[in-house]
Homo-oligomer: A and B are copies of this chain.
């Protein structure tokens, strides 16, 4: 996301920014002193009462920011989301940004934070990227408390007759820790529990993260927690959290985490940051509560969903809108020339070189995502996120291709200029919303069979022409329909790098097969997870983790964060 060599780093910009005290941001947002609590000087938790207190107000416009299939560095979707919010603010609109909170694991590993970049950041970026207000820690705790209750149940006599080989509830850590993917626990004899195979996922893949992000209120949270399926008995009957009677304790552990967090952008636009599932292994959207609050409190709610329109975008539109009764007004599709070149076959190390042919070839990936958004009945603008290396010829070609397809397109420079770099995008978006009426519809019906839902997603969104199920997945399809879980939406777990389930299939692959390896019931979240290919639910660290650069400076401030 670095715009050019003379620019400051994200953390330098973040540290130099003058933040306003959070009470001023809360006031700007229009919430009363009783409706929020401070967490330090620049963070706050917003009371869930806000939704009740403002129930009579009309909702603002809902704008979803999504992207094409990204490169490893990401295309700046969070940056565009923040910049668009700031641009709308500059235009005198009351804009509220709703985003996910970052997972610490990738911050320690390879990835930059998830707080935008340059002059389009949410702040305090160091705190948001580290422990923030503790929401993810609370989810880790609740997830692992449940795991401890399960293993304690086995150890204390196993009244529920749970088959230790069929426990599907895994432990989690907010860490990239490959050595914990497959483990054996309970070793050491009869005083140390029951021996069984187990494994850790990263916390953002926990069903509890999804539940927190889809729950409407505290009661709904508790009801969903009770419905979690933790495994099966020796007779193959599903066992739920309510059978263990610990949904109250889990709710208690999560009651503060359910409150959304308020921060600000570099330009002081109110930003509600809450919940953070990844979009490749989970549903990839911030909480329903945060989005609903932003809609109540703003003329515009600008929100994003993780990775491309095939992942976070699809799940936002099929799953989150249903859970939260949301109706999007327009979509922004973020693209970069680098990513188009990658999809045109250029190796990662050569992306800085001008390559017109590759852009023309890779444009097919963008076209596919535009078709997807159209299939949902939604108007869209393409935001071309400019990088310093982009050549004039490349940009001209890109605009020409957009014109050829009759796509509305805007060049954004929010990394370098903040909101000012997104004014054109904001104006085009306003015009689009005024002139076109959204005829939003989801791509499948709840009453479709699980396999029909998977077929529709893979055909319409990915462009696949075949779905192949493993033997286990076929067995699960029947089992899940028998259990009455067939009416739930499907949450696809798939690589973010390709429209297919094979990360090497760049561009717009045709006539390919999607391989469903396994299904997982997330009955509390209210969806069935379909795992494709080799999707990994616990990342690993690289040879030289980002952590090696991190430190605290002489003043006690974060250093080397990015």
Contacts and interface: CB of A to CB of B under 8 A. Distances in A.
A256 B39 CA distance: 12
Contacts of A256: 127, 130-131
Contacts of A140: 137
A328 interface: no
A137 B148 contact: no
Nearest to A42: B37
Chain A interface residue number, banded: 35 or more
B147 A177 contact: yes
A246 B540 CA distance: 17
B148 A175 contact: yes
Nearest to A259: B556
7 contacts: A38-B39, A130-B253, A137-B137, A152-B177, A181-B188, A246-B547, A249-B550
Contact of A543 (B40, B156, B251, B559): B156
A141 B174 contact: yes
Nearest to A154: B179
Contacts of A108: 145, 148, 249
Interface stretch (A190-198, A335-343, A458-466, A501-509): A190-198
A184 interface: yes
A227 interface: no
Contact of A192 (B39, B155, B178, B548): B178
Given A252-B550, A548-B246, A551-B252, A193 B178 contact: yes
Interface in A246-266: 246, 248-249, 251-253, 255-256
Contacts of A154: 179
A178 B191 contact: yes
A144 interface: yes
B131 A144 contact: no
Given A137-B137, A149-B545, A252-B558, A45 B37 contact: no
A245 interface: yes
A251 B551 CA distance: 7
Most B CB atoms within 10 A — which of A48, A144, A177, A193?
A177
A551 B255 CA distance: 10
Counted per complex, copies of this chain come to: 2
A192 B460 CA distance: 35
Given A151-B178, A246-B545, 16 more contacts: A38-B41, A108-B249, A130-B252, A131-B141, A131-B253, A145-B547, A149-B541, A152-B177, A152-B540, A178-B186, A178-B192, A179-B192, A183-B184, A249-B550, A252-B550, A252-B559
Contacts of A549: 248
B184 A187 contact: yes
Nearest to A547: B249
A543 B244 CA distance: 12
Contacts of A13: none
A188 to B, nearest CB: 4
A174 B148 CA distance: 11
CB-CB nearest 5 A-B residue pairs = A248-B551, A179-B193, A249-B547, A137-B137, A182-B188
